Amino acid sequence: MRVILLLFVVCAVADGWFFGSKKKEKCFGELGCFDNRSPFDNTKGCIPQSPDEQGLQLALYTRKNRYFPQWINIDTNYDTAGNTYSITNSHYTVGKRTYFIIHGYTDDCLSEWVANIERTLLETGDFNVFRVNWQEGASPTIYDQAASNTRLVASMLAMFMRALNNIGTSYGDIHLIGHSLGAHISGQVGQRLGGQLGRITGMDPAGPSFDKDNCDIRLDKTDAKFVDIMHTDAEKLTKLGFGMMRPMGHADFYPGGGYDQEGCPKNFGDHLFSLVTGGIKGFINGAACSHSRAVDLFWSSFTQCHYTAIPCANWADFKAGKCKCSDATPCSRMGYYADPSLHGTFFLRTSGTPPYCLNLLELIQLKLGVSGFVGYNKQH
């Protein structure tokens, strides 16, 4: 995420926008064949790089190894080799709920937000938790190449989950948690497994290259039994927005209307100011602020915040106080404790400082001026 803006700019002039793209196809054995014909022409002619080039890794954490991961071979038939494990000689336990945390563009599984969610999951319950590392595949200079790479990563993960299913793991016990491009990897895995996964949580799914009607290229509600989406940076790319506004899941949550999160720069002028005062790093971090907020909101939803969200058609109606919770239209909770039985679009307000839910004083002040329920801090 630290160099995301510059790489997006490179992507805008690369591989096909001005010169067109050639038809290509690559096959990788049991992982399948990949071409750039419609609908997979969304990445400007790019097709996935090879498994060796992408270097997919899985780090397993359980309550038996909270601080030292077991690096798992994708092919579960392998025996222990060096510092890697097969599922059968690891701490993985069939029958326990299993989570996969999947990062996005230019990110990796050692990021603080990945570690925060993994550790909090293990504090919450006795689970199997995989950190998915596709750092090499997520790091090409051209963004569209990384976007295309998601297809092969999804095929590899789907193959691994079939192996888990073969040893007794129920697909319904698997929950994928993906940010940005990781959200679309989650959707493609779910599609390959026929929508049998228990749940997919998409944290601000990437918009560039994916904001199209065709569900074959992106996360959508057919990919799991319950798909919940958090939209935090739904502006167009021309306004430095990296997410998308369209509803995609069973439950779509729009904190702050889905864009320009509290505490983040809200316009291009703010970003230019950060470039002058904070240099290029501050400029890039500011541009990605709202996009990254989704992972913080999800993490804080475990214990720190009770994000109550109102069912509503749009942000304007929510701000005008036209929407409310009732027996017929109950509120839902955004984040880890989202109710799988409540579907639709939900809106709420959040704070601009960690943990991003409103404290009691802010809640009272807001209620005096604006109708609507909001997330509140459980510590108050």
Q: Write down the H helix ranges in 127-267.
A: 143-166, 181-192
Confidence of residue 309 (pLDDT cuts 50, 70, 90): very high
Distance CA 286, CA 274 (A): 7
pLDDT band at 236 (very low <50, low <70, confident <90, very high): low
Query: pLDDT category, 86, cuts 50, 70, 90?
Result: confident
Q: Are 361 and 377 in contact (CB under 8 A)?
A: no
Q: Which pLDDT value is given to residue 184?
A: 97
Q: In the predicted model, is pLDDT for residue 36 greater than 50? A: yes
> When comparing pLDDT for 73 and 199, which is higher?
199
Of 21-30, 91-100, 112-121, give the lowest mean pLDDT range: 21-30
Compute the distance between CA of residue 179 and CA of residue 129 in angstroms, rounded to an integer.
Answer: 16
Active site residue 15: no
Catalytic member of 107, 144, 173, 204: 204
What's the pLDDT band for 359 if we cut at 50, 70, 90? Answer: low
Q: Is residue 102 classed as helix, strand or coil in its secondary structure?
A: strand
* Residue partners of 293: CB distance under 8 A and separation at least 6: 204, 232, 233, 255, 261, 264, 356
Q: What local confidence, expressed as pLDDT, does residue 376 receive?
A: 52
Please give the DSSP secondary-structure letter assigned to residue 135: T
Mean pLDDT of the residues in the chain: 84
pLDDT in tens, 142-160: 999 999 999 999 999 999 9
pLDDT at position 77, please?
43
What is the band of 213 on the pLDDT scale with cuts at 50, 70, 90? confident
Domain span holding position 48: 4-377
Q: Is the pLDDT of residue 279 over 50?
A: no
Name the strand (E) or helix (H) holding 364: helix 360-369
347 pLDDT band, cuts 50/70/90, is very high
pLDDT given at position 260? 87
Percent of the chain with pLDDT over 70: 79
The mean pLDDT value for 287-304 works out to 91
What's the confidence (pLDDT) of residue 189? Answer: 98
Is pLDDT of 188 > 60? Answer: yes
Residue 15, pLDDT above cutoff 50:
no
Strands (E), the chain: 25-27, 33-35, 57-61, 70-72, 84-85, 98-102, 128-133, 174-179, 199-203, 227-230, 251-255, 305-311, 332-333, 344-348, 375-377
Q: Is 66 helix (H, G, I), strand (E, B) or coil?
A: coil
Say whether pLDDT at 366 is over 80: no
Q: Can you tell me which residue has the tokens 């509120």?
A: 331
Tokens representing residue 89 in the block = 């000689």
Residue type, 48: P
pLDDT the model gives residue 165: 96
What does DSSP assign to residue 238? G
Out of 90, 111, 180, 274, the active site residue is 180
pLDDT of res. 375: 54
> What's the total number of domains in the chain?
1
Contacts of 169 (CB under 8 A, 6+ apart): 94, 95, 98, 161
184 vs 236 pLDDT, higher one: 184
Q: Give yes or no: 204 in active site.
A: yes
Name the CA radius of gyration of the chain, rounded: 20
* Catalytic residue (one of 175, 250, 271, 291): 291
* Nearest alpha carbon to residue 331 among 238, 253, 242, 229: 253
Tokens of 133: 């590392």
Residue scoring higher pLDDT (111 or 212): 111
Q: For residue 157, what is the domain's CATH number?
A: 3.40.50.1820
CB atoms within 10 A of CB 114: 24
Report d(CA 18, CA 337) in Å as an integer. 46
Query: What pTM was estimated for this model as a whole?
Result: 0.86
Q: Is 343 tagged catalytic?
A: no
